[in-house]
Chain A
Amino acid sequence: MSEVAGDFDDEDGSGTIKKFMFVNRKAPYGTVYALEGLEVVLITAAFDQDVSMVFMDDGVYQLVKGQNTKAIAMKNFSPTYRALDGYDIEKLYVERDSLEMRGLSESDLLVPVEVLSSAEMQVLMNDQDVVIAF
């Protein structure tokens, strides 16, 4: 990590663990949301929270294999997704319709994921304490 996490003061001292879900809806390049979003995900995991990530809409492109950013002069940060399990971030969910509408399938993705219908996704989201969309 390239930044300071800031002092953490767990006021009630209970070591609270909440369910944080990060919903990635945007393509990896073109806007900064995916890149800066990953920073939040990694910090949240460092705080020992229960982290999951959702990829839907154009966000599914974040996980596509073989990204090459040379022509747009931007850093290819897709290897970071492969490092997520090193931070104990193993709950990666992809919405089925978003994949299919873009002509993609699970075998096009660079990490193992669980593919869910939007109805299943809804159930999962309802179960979260904190949902942050990027």
Chain B
Amino acid sequence: MKFGIMVSEGPYTHQASDSAYLFAQAALEKGHEIQRVFFYHDGVNNSTRMTEPPQDDRNIVTRWSKLAEEHSIDLVVCVAAAMRRGINDENLAPGFRISGLGQLVESGIQADRLMVFGD
């Protein structure tokens, strides 16, 4: 099955990004396709390479980057939501790109299922 994923919450405060990541990983292991991961609301904070968690904690941002690299997954950050929160091309982590909300709508249209991970 072809899945689209939307992440609506920021890292660490909320489990949404962890759950989305674990879902994506499990889906890929089962042979499904992840068409795109779209980051909206505070979810855009999952894309900044300025993130530096303590060493004994998971690094949510680099984990997404690595997944994107290994499986060629399109990680898209909403431009308007990102600009509000100080995320731009200067501080964007590898594997992410900034684009418009149309990318989320496209995901809804092209994927068999759009999974929303939020509050």
Residue numbers of A with Cβ under 8 A of B are: 2-11, 16, 18, 20, 32-33, 36, 39-40, 43-44, 47, 49, 129-134
Contacts and interface: CB of A to CB of B under 8 A. Distances in A.
B41 A43 contact: no
Contacts of A4: 79, 99-100, 102
- Chain A contact surface mostly: loop
8 contacts: A5-B100, A5-B101, A6-B79, A6-B103, A20-B105, A40-B104, A47-B109, A132-B116
A124 B80 CA distance: 31
Size class of the B contact interface (CB-based, 8 Å): 20 to 34
Contacts of B80: 2-3, 36, 39
Nearest to A44: B105
Interface string B66-96: 0000000000100111000000000000000
Nearest to A17: B109
A130 B79 contact: no
Contacts of B105: 8, 20, 40, 43-44, 47, 49
Contacts of B40: 36, 40
Given A18-B108, A39-B80, A6 B101 contact: yes
Contacts of A44: 105, 108
Contacts of B103: 6
Interface in B29-63: 40-41
Nearest to A36: B41
